[in-house]
Each structure stands twice: as C-alpha cells, then as structure tokens.
Amino acid sequence: MNNNQEQLVEKRVTYSLELNGKFILIENVPARINEEAGEQFFAPSTVMLLQQIILDGQEPKRVIQTPVYNYAT
C-alpha cells in the first residue's frame, strides 16, 4: 500500500456541479478524501448514480438561493 492510499478517509460530502447555468448540489455522497490535499475520489458506481440523478431530472429534496458575486480586478 502506498502512502496516498493510507491518507484516504471515507466520508460523506456535498457534490457540486454547474450545468446549463444552474448550480446543482447533491448531499451525502460517499467519497474517499485525501485530507492533506483535499482531493475527493468517487467510486465508479457512485459517479454513475450521480449522473443518473442529474440526467433524470429528479425532483430535488429542497431548493436554495445562492448569492453570486463578481470578482472585479
């Protein structure tokens, strides 16, 4: 086992995605997290279910408003 695998921790995360100008959140997604780097890794079956949820247009559990700011330089 290499060091990267030893640093992965099983957690539930919120998966976020912007699709067609809409911001989508999916809560309680199982992931393996590299806590040092903050990277999230998803099993192939999890990715397939995420795609199914998004593409099937399932009714969301709830809808939230999200503020949008412009980063001005």
Give 27-45 pLDDT, tens digit per residue. Answer: 999 999 998 898 999 999 9
Asked if the model's pLDDT at residue 1 lies above 50, the reply is no
Q: Does the predicted TM-score (pTM) go above 0.85?
A: no
**Residue 6 pLDDT class (50, 70, 90 cuts):** low
Question: Which helix H or strand E contains 19, and what residues bound it?
Answer: strand 8-19
Half-sphere exposure of 27 (CA within 13 A, CB side): 5
**pLDDT, tens digit, for every residue of 7-30?**
899 999 999 998 888 889 999 999
Cα 41–chain centre separation? 10
